[in-house]
Amino acid sequence: MKFFIVFAGLLAIALAAPTPDHEEHAEIIQLDSNIDHDGYSFVAETSDGTSRHEEGTLKEVKGEDGDEHAIVVHGEFSWKDHHDGKVYTVKYVADEHGFQPTGEHLPHA
């Protein structure tokens, strides 16, 4: 019973919280995609300054059972921060070495 009372209280607080003034509905400005036997690509952009571009290509890798295929992904996404107005961009590669993001605002290893 105590759990239910605490849960109900937290839910009431969450629902009563004011919504940010900058909340807006973004519209899609651009959306293109292409899929073929060697990989894929897509571009998406919205009216709030968010964008994403990604390409995936098929790569042959050596596996335990012989030659296998994997998709190597290169891409980037960006968004405009509503608090400081700055545009942040993350570029990334995802391959057999894992997900490798880079960006000016990200810590460097």
Angle at 35 between CA 55 and CA 43, to 5 degrees: 45
DSSP 20-46: PTT-----EEEEEEEEETTEEEEEEEE
Using alpha carbons, list the distances in angstroms from residue 80 to 47, 85, 103. Answer: 11, 6, 14
Beta carbons within 10 angstroms of residue 35's beta carbon: 10
- Give the pLDDT of residue 11: 56
Note if the pTM is more than 0.85: no
> Of 98, 22, 87, 94, whose CA–CA distance to 54 is shortest?
94
Token pair of 108 as six digits: 């460097």
pLDDT per residue, tens digit, the chain (109 aa), is 555 565 555 556 665 555 555 556 889 999 999 999 889 999 999 998 899 999 999 888 777 776 777 889 999 999 998 888 899 999 999 988 889 998 888 887 6
Token pair of 103 as six digits: 């960006």
